[in-house]
Amino acid sequence: MGTFKLAGTSMKGLFSKPATKMYPVVVPEYFERTAGHIENVDMKSCILCGLCARKCPTGCLVVDKGAETWSIDPFGCITCGSCVRACPKDCLVMQRTHTEPATDKRRITVKKPELTPEEKAAKAAAEAEKAARIAAAKAAAAKKKAEPAS
């Protein structure tokens, strides 16, 4: 007949706290690398190159250079991390928390922020300087062509 082989484990189970957590009442503590959801945390540095959208295996990322937006379909994302590795400016981050259940599938779209007046001025100044450099280089090249070869 034999003894009850699971006696030790069952007795321990009677007097210790349960192994399960009452999710979602008790929020679990996720780990650092938990594949939760993808977020574009640094839209300012995003150059809208579209590498993330090209690498994505499911096609859930859409980058619109004209409208300056980056959007993701969170229910299409398989959290593989290809976009995070592909981004040249490290704007994309894999967050730990999972996408909340919802009643409809909606896309999350973020737009590049408007530049502040100082940034606009700095950008204009940089572009003006670049145009001046190009004009000077063109003038020097034309002058060299006009002179006889030495």
Contact (CB, 8 A) for 74 and 83: no
Separation of alpha carbons 109 and 39, rounded Å = 10
17 binds another protein, rule: CB under 8 A: no
95 binds another protein, rule: CB under 8 A: no
From the list 48, 81, 93, 108, which residue makes contact with another protein (rule: CB under 8 A)?
Answer: 81
CB of 72 to another protein, least distance (A): 16
Q: Which of residues 52-71 bind another protein (CB under 8 A)?
A: 55, 57
**Binding track, positions 22-41, relative to another protein; x by CB under 8 A:** --------xxxxxx------
109 binds another protein, rule: CB under 8 A: no
Binding-site ranges for another protein (CB under 8 A): 1-2, 5-6, 8-10, 19, 30-35, 55, 57, 78-82, 85, 94
